[in-house]
Structure 1
């Protein structure tokens, strides 16, 4: 369903849209947020359910490990990017238009509109209402993401709002938040990738002032999508969300800090971050597939919680990929990389950029697809451009031909095995930042490897039956009632240039049962001077 022009659908309306499109599981039975909720959704990603068949989950009867309930509250998981179709509905555009929609929006920002009253401030909690068990943050149904390893409930889909004290420009960042008390939460803002909130914190620290912040829970999807998007530090994400919606995003001023937040969010957590002290945070199961161990991070004191009377907490399924957090990044980052290489760097031979998702979480392996015949100099320019676009992405950048499926790691390894000479087709660039993930043991730093796994000239055909024979066989398969097929590329053979009409004619004779004619052809071309395994060239059929 296309987005209504000029609208910015809130999370509750988005959930109704998912339900209408068969993309929402509604769970009404009691579910323990501390030990059951995230593991239940996790099976969707570890149970071999194909990506198009994954759905969002809405839990309407959430409890905790102590048996407490949360009247008027629900928890949604997978509602932003459980799969690409869910993401596209949130964007209000077809899946194939996601990339162009982002590029247009970033080029045509729309400033937000300030309102005086907002749904996110129907209930306002301050002072003693924030302190103690069952109050403040402890009154919100925030799930434990990785039961058995995580040390507390975490904000996983919160957008953290901060303002540059010099320019006054706000930033929205998607950072994890470790609940510590009813009025305290620790937040990790990645320094090595220049997270906007972390940059602002350094400026407030130099001023000797605490940093005002607000954590937005359950933002409208178009706003939520801007948080993980790679935007320049001087761009207010709310202006890009407005461009996506086709009209200004309505914002309201916080009750206790001077920040503007989305008026149609579900919950706002206001406060300040200490710039004189850091607090131990973690462990937490991260999207690189390992536990992020306890480390010092930023400590926020909560000054107010505002919310709707009935509200939905949005939580992202993360940890080992594939997961929701990798989908939400993949569909946003890939078109940006393609636009950077093809349009900004003017490398016209690049046709696609793909980030490997399972287990490696997008950042480590980057595949650049190029047209046949692209000059080698342009292939290397593309690899270097991909590796240098952002500091956190592209530890291994691999150029491949268009016939190689970048979504199939086996396909890419096939190209590396037979189209790449490591002595000539690889290059290692030192001094790479550590990026997102556990530190390499016994190493002072990291590096980037560039690999040209494209064909250097022609190759023999792929050794599978031609398409027409495979299609005929599939029809027979279905006629026989054999198990349902899920074709995996490549499923038929195709030419890569090193093939002749003569060999085509021989193959056609064999398929028609006339293989003995080919035996007569080879008998007529026997050689007393050839060596074993010497190519037979120029052989023709003679009756």
Structure 2
């Protein structure tokens, strides 16, 4: 295992395993980088690195699909695993176990370095020079409300008393060279902190960090408990403290090895229109909403900086790999804390974060004596639907462990043959609903309430599969394997 302390060493490692596509010809500054990145997701190609973008200074680069499925079929989750310091061949459930286990370990706080040691401050831009127009920020989709200046960067904010520092990912749209507008959801951690600044009547200081160490981007995009510092959690995953440096114009620490850091303040009013944007559900966006303005005051960057981007849409992009794994790890943590004997949890990439599979071991009835599968489904829903992360997931399936939950073909087979048409489900009415999941109607979005469901697909008796693995004697299978492909 190896931890990559900056984006460049991570890209080099991917390149050495054949998972980088170098785009050397000049691409336009509008749609071409995003369209190439989107196609790379859909055909599972190497991650595109754009070396020449029209309209920006030579040396400024774009990097797409940083945590999508790998082009290496033998290690599909390599980009996510390597981002987190895990072996590239790690399976999805192994990554989820690592994310959950780190929640129970002491955090390793970041360590501050001097500005002279911080690559992110090799170039310092102030005043009029601190302008977004100098960077290669393309349109993500042709129906979007503008160029999205943040799709894979980390927003750093802290509450007014300085006791809670939050690192997170939220979409932020470029308005012009000196302004952005970002989606701030009140229930999310950045929204909770912004609300505290609004109550004081003061604009919220922020730093938008592009291209930090890959683990920082990944952890910024997954749920961890409120008032916990992502930097400490990243240190635990890495086994070493994150090097940070004081921002140039703000009382915030930022990752020292980042590619680009944008500093400024967020307005106390929702005074600018944001959106639409094509989101993880796989549909182009419609409509916009009033959101706070992010004013750009100072920018620092490395020489020849790299701007990473995630172009969300139909599977499979970072929303369906890293974010889904983070949500599954959050669910696994809470279910185990409730003393339920869960084997693993998994969100199939192709469900676009609309399904969660809760996998039970074969002996779960021995571990929960007297509990029926219907009662288990009810308890699982009672635990999960109280958590913040489950606001995104409307459907939970409680399944046996006799198939591979990461294999979509096996998932479709198991669910289609085990979900009862009308019964064996626990329905939870009037649960929190936000607009990002695609399955509710307009009245439910307006009310912020809707139903969620836990499907009980557990078998009373395990049935053998009509498969190569279970349908033939072991000696026959071994003889066939020894002589394959004759």
> TM-score category by the smaller chain?
0.7 to 0.9
The corresponding residue for 1:305 is 299
CA deviation vs aligned residue, 1:380-400 (integer Å, no higher than 9, x gap)? 423443343334243111111
Residue 56 of structure 2 is aligned to residue 69 of structure 1: yes
What corresponds to 1:90 in structure 2? Answer: 83
Residue 30 of structure 2, aligned match among 27, 34, 39: 34
Matched, 1:340 2:334: yes
Which residue in the other structure is 2:170 paired with?
175
| Aligned partners of 1:124 and 1:306 also within 8 Å | yes
Matches within 5 A, 1:82-231: 82-83=69-70, 84-94=77-87, 95-96=90-91, 97-106=94-103, 107-117=105-115, 118-130=118-130, 136-191=131-186, 194-231=187-224
Aligned in 2, Cα 1:475/1:34: closer, same or farther, shift over 3 Å?
farther
2:341 aligned with 1:372, yes or no? no
Using the TM superposition, give the Cα deviation of residue 365 of structure 1 relative to its aligned residue in structure 2, in angstroms: 1.0
Distance between the aligned counterparts of 2:393 and 2:128, measured in 1? Answer: 48
How far apart, CA to CA, are the structure 1 residues paired with 2:310 and 2:258? Answer: 16
Could you say what the CA RMSD is over the residues aligned between the two structures, in angstroms? 2.4
Structure 2: 5+ residue stretches without partners = 71-76, 366-371
Q: For 1:275, what is the secondary structure of its paired residue?
A: coil
Shift, 1:88, TM fit: 1.6
Of stretches 442-451 and 223-232 in structure 1, the one that deviates more from structure 2 is: 442-451
**Structure 1 residue 22: deviation in Å?**
1.8
- Which residue pairs with 1:386 in the alignment? 384
1:10 to 6, 10, 15: 6
Q: Quick one: distance in 2 between partners of 1:218 and 1:171?
A: 17
Q: Are residue 259 (structure 1) and residue 252 (structure 2) matched?
A: yes
Contact kept in structure 1, 2:433 and 2:450, CA below 8 Å: yes
Name the counterpart of 1:534: none
2:269/2:292 contact within 8 Å kept: no
Partners of 1:148 and 1:300 in 2: CA distance: 22
Q: CA–CA distance in 2 between the matches of 1:246 and 1:408?
A: 31
Matches within 5 A, 1:340-489: 340-342=334-336, 344-348=337-341, 350-358=342-350, 360-362=351-353, 364-375=354-365, 376=372, 377-389=375-387, 390-408=389-407, 411-435=410-434, 436-437=436-437, 440-443=441-444, 444=447, 445-457=449-461, 459=463, 461-464=464-467, 466-467=471-472, 478-479=485-486
Contact 1:151 1:282 in 2 (8 A): yes
8 Å CA contact 1:383, 1:399 repeated in 2: no
Residues in 2 aligned to 1:59 and 1:86: alpha-carbon distance in whole angstroms: 18
Q: Residue 371 and residue 121 in structure 1: after superposition, are their counterparts in 2 closer, same or farther (change >3 A)?
A: same
Moved more, 408-417 or 86-95: 408-417
Cα distance, 1:271 vs. partner?
A: 0.5
CA, structure 1 residues 416+221, in 2 after alignment: closer, same or farther (shift >3 Å)?
A: closer
| Partners of 1:196 and 1:233 within 8 A in 2 | yes
Evaluate the alpha carbon distance shift between residue 3 and residue 407 of structure 1 in structure 2; reply closer, same or farther with a 3 A threshold: closer
> C-alpha displacement at 1:149, in angstroms?
4.1
Change (3 A) 1:384 1:411: farther
| CA distances 1:24-62 after superposition (whole Å, capped 9, x unpaired) | 111111112312111112222323x4xxxx422211111
Task: Please list the CA deviations of residues 72-115 of structure 1 after superposition, one character each: whole Å capped at 9, or x if unmatched.
Answer: 21111122344310122222222245334334443221111122
Shift of 1:138: 0.9
Q: Secondary structure at the match of 2:327?
A: helix
What secondary structure, in the 3-state scheme, does the structure 2 residue paired with 1:400 have?
Answer: strand
Alignment of 1:511-522 (within 5 A): none
CA change 1:475–1:199 in 2 (3 A) is same
> Residues 355 and 394 of structure 2 are in contact (CA less than 8 Å); yes or no, is this contact kept in structure 1?
yes
Q: Counterpart in 1 of 2:369?
A: none
Per-residue deviation at 1:261?
0.6
Aligned to 1:498: none
**Deviations 1:187-232 (Å, cap 9, x if unpaired)?**
11233xx222111111111111111111001111122121012111
What is the number of equivalent residue pairs in this alignment? Answer: 454
Q: TM-score, normalised by structure 1?
A: 0.78
Whether the aligned pair in 1 keeps the contact of 2:157 and 2:167 (CA below 8 Å) is yes
1:361-411, CA deviations, whole angstroms, 9 ceiling, x for partnerless residues?
A: 21x211111123533244542344334333424311111111244335564
In the aligned structure 1, how far is the partner of 2:37 from the partner of 2:123?
30
User: C-alpha offsets along residues 265-301 of structure 1, whole Å, 9 cap, x if unaligned?
Assistant: 0100001011034210111111122233311112111
Is the CA contact (8 Å cut-off) linking 2:62 and 2:308 kept in structure 1?
Answer: yes
Measure, in 2, the Cα distance between the counterparts of 1:392 and 1:69: 40
Partner of 1:507: none
Q: Render the CA deviation track for 1:470-528: whole Å, top value 9, x for unaligned.
A: 7777888833xxxxxxxxxxxxxxxxxxxxxxxxxxxxxxxxxxxxxxxxxxxxxxxxx
* Distance (whole Å) between structure 1 residues aligned to residue 220 and residue 149 of structure 2: 17
Check 1:307–1:398 CA distance in 2 against 1; reply closer, same or farther (3 A cut).
same
Q: Which ranges of structure 1 fall in alignment gaps of 5 or more residues?
A: 131-135, 480-543
Larger radius of gyration: 1
In structure 2, C-alpha distance between the alignment counterparts of 1:284 and 1:99, rounded to whole Å:
29
CA distance in 2, matches of 1:437, 1:341: 23
Write out per-residue CA displacement over residues 405-442 of structure 1, whole angstroms, 9 at most, x where no aligned residue. 43355644544454444554112111122232356234
Q: Distance in 2 between matches of 1:325 and 1:33?
A: 24
Q: Give, in whole Å, the separation in 2 of the partners of 1:331 and 1:294.
A: 29
Q: Normalised by the size of structure 2, how large is the TM-score?
A: 0.86
